[in-house]
Structure 1
Amino acid sequence: MRPLIVFSLISVLLLTFYIREGEAGPIHAVRSGVTTITSPVRFVGSAVAAPFNAIGNVFSNLTASQDTLDELKKQNEELTSKVAELSEAQKTAERLEGLVGLQSTYNLKSTAARIVGASGDAWTSTVTIDKGSADGLTINMPVTSSAGVIGQIIEVSAKTSTVRLIGDESSGVSAMVQDTRAQGMLQGQADGTLRLEYVSVDSDVKVGDIIVTSGIGGVFPKGLPLGTVSSVEKSANDVYYTIVVRAQTTAENNEEVLVITSLTDEQSASDEDVNTANSTPQGTSRDAATKTKDESPDDGSDTSETTDSGSSE
């Protein structure tokens, strides 16, 4: 007990002298010398201990609580799900924007629907949409995506409708070559391809030509895209070309569609259109069609003058 009291008194005295003496005092000098001597030892000790401290941190991280790891995993899954959800919403918005654009461009009277099923056999090419007679749909109404025609309604129930796709071999759509107005019938084939039938070899048709609905028959509005000519062939003594058409769009690439519920007078082929199609089914030459467009009168007085001249004759 007495040694402890002695050491305590000595410590108090040294501390008192240390505080009262200046920086150059003897106790400060001794402390500085001890620090200088022991610094290398402490440095070596720190260097030796550093790897063990690092290993300790690694084990600490590896042994983090399971609750923490589960929470991080949950957050990662939620973020991944959110990104997928936002991406899907953006794509849906783009598709709907395309439908609205088509509806506006062609001034279509239509109702939107979603594709909810497809035919399950190899003999027919059909899809099912989620609108039916309760929504005002009837048989024969045309169906289009944002890119072009995909088919026509052939069956209707209260809540759903069956759409025969234009690639079905039972499908036929009155069509024409957009540039030359050459008339034909776009028909599906057993192998799922499309052919533009009954186009006279006198017609001006080439690969890359756009095929559109002609409006003849009063089912499809005229001018809707159907596809693009991918090949044109003619054998000796043939009356008609063999024309293969690549569809403008397919049901597999679409989820939302427009069902065209009625046509305006401007969207149906006029009597003049029908007479022209019957009298010159081969259409006009490409050069003539271009010349006609270039020479179209811009001034109303010129048109009137031409009409009067024709009347006088």
Structure 2
Amino acid sequence: MNNSAHFSPSRDYYLLILLLSFNIVLMTENTTETVHLWRDFCNYLAVPSLHLSQKIINRPGEVGQRLKDILRVYEINQTLNSEIKVLKAQQNYWQTVAQENSRLRDLLSLRPAFPYKIEIARIHLAGNPGEQIIAFLDKGSERKITSGLPVAAFWHNRLYLVGLITQSYLGYSRVFFLNNELVNVPVVIKGEDKDFSGLLRGSAAGELRIDYLSDVSDSILGREVLVSENSRIYPAGLLIGYVQNVEKFANQVSVTVRSPVDYRTLTEAVIIIK
């Protein structure tokens, strides 16, 4: 009897398990899952998947052809996935470029409207959640930045005052955001018929409030809050935010101001220099 025509008992055993399990694997509709199951099975047998795959591929019949088709589709999927990753990376790059171009357009738009010098600085934030945010800028006295200068940020093509320089050193400076309880700024609420003056203060809760107002109605809801001409902040008229809520206590009124700028996520600021 020609032994070359038959598998050895151990090889027959492996091949039987292989064919039975492969029939189960072929029942799945997910090509990637099929190949992963195939490789898991090969790992279980502790032999290279390519070796066993080649055995089945070289065998005539439907099983070999099906495996060829599956592996071909799997290779196509792998190629497509690689191309998709490249396209996503390119998309992220162009989104970053578009954001940078938008920022540059915003800065250029300042020239005709604001005839004063500005410095662009990176912001570094510190502080734990629930605590007052400590902010530092990467520009300092070497750029003629001094205590009291306003710090602003862009939001939808508008410039908002967000804080004040409190200390300036060589290479960096410290900023207090407007919602810091140590900050107060004379402001004006632009009413429909007349303006209302008050003092904007930060709070321990991180709110912007204008207290001790009088003769103010609910009609100021949503109105702009600007830096007052009586303030030492230059220039007057910088936008801070909008009236969010009005609370009345006897003859006094307290106003909550909302800034659309999230101070906690700022990465860049505009320092306005006289």
Alignment correspondent of 2:85: 77
1:233-244 alignment runs, 5 A limit: 233-236=247-250, 238=251, 240-244=252-256
Aligned residues of 2:227 and 2:233 also touching (Cα < 8 A)? no
Alignment correspondent of 1:154: 166
Alignment correspondent of 1:7: none
Alignment correspondent of 1:210: 224
Aligned residues of 1:177 and 1:205 also touching (Cα < 8 A)? no
1:144 corresponds to which of 145, 152, 165: 152
1:98 corresponds to which of 88, 106, 109: 106
* Equivalent AA in structure 1 for residue 120 of structure 2: A
Q: TM-score, normalised by structure 2?
A: 0.66
The alignment partner of 2:88 has SS state of: helix
Alignment correspondent of 1:194: 208
Alignment correspondent of 1:10: none
Q: TM-score, normalised by structure 1?
A: 0.58
The alignment partner of 2:181 has SS state of: coil
Shift of 1:136: 1.8
The alignment partner of 1:198 has SS state of: strand
Alignment correspondent of 1:135: 143
* Equivalent AA in structure 2 for residue 241 of structure 1: V
Q: Using a 3 Å threshold, how does the CA distance of structure 1 residues 117 and 123 change in structure 2: closer, same or farther?
A: closer
2:186 corresponds to which of 170, 174, 177: 174
User: Could you list the per-position Cα deviations for residues 205-227 of structure 1 after superposition, in whole angstroms to 9, with x for gaps in the alignment?
Assistant: 62111110013232231111111
Q: From the two aligned structures, give the one with the greater helix fraction.
A: 1
Alpha-carbon separation, structure 2, partners of 1:86 and 1:175: 40
Alignment correspondent of 1:124: 132
Q: Using a 3 Å threshold, how does the CA distance of structure 1 residues 187 and 124 change in structure 2: closer, same or farther?
A: same
Q: From the two aligned structures, give the one with the greater strand fraction.
A: 2
Alpha-carbon separation, structure 2, partners of 1:154 and 1:161: 8
Alpha-carbon separation, structure 2, partners of 1:62 and 1:243: 65
Q: How many residues align?
A: 209
Alpha-carbon separation, structure 2, partners of 1:217 and 1:100: 27
Aligned residues of 2:218 and 2:246 also touching (Cα < 8 A)? no
Please list every run of 5 or more consecutive structure 1 residues that lacks an aligned counterpart in the other structure. 1-48, 263-313
Alpha-carbon separation, structure 1, partners of 2:234 and 2:113: 15
Shift of 1:124: 2.6
Q: Using a 3 Å threshold, how does the CA distance of structure 1 residues 200 and 103 change in structure 2: closer, same or farther?
A: farther
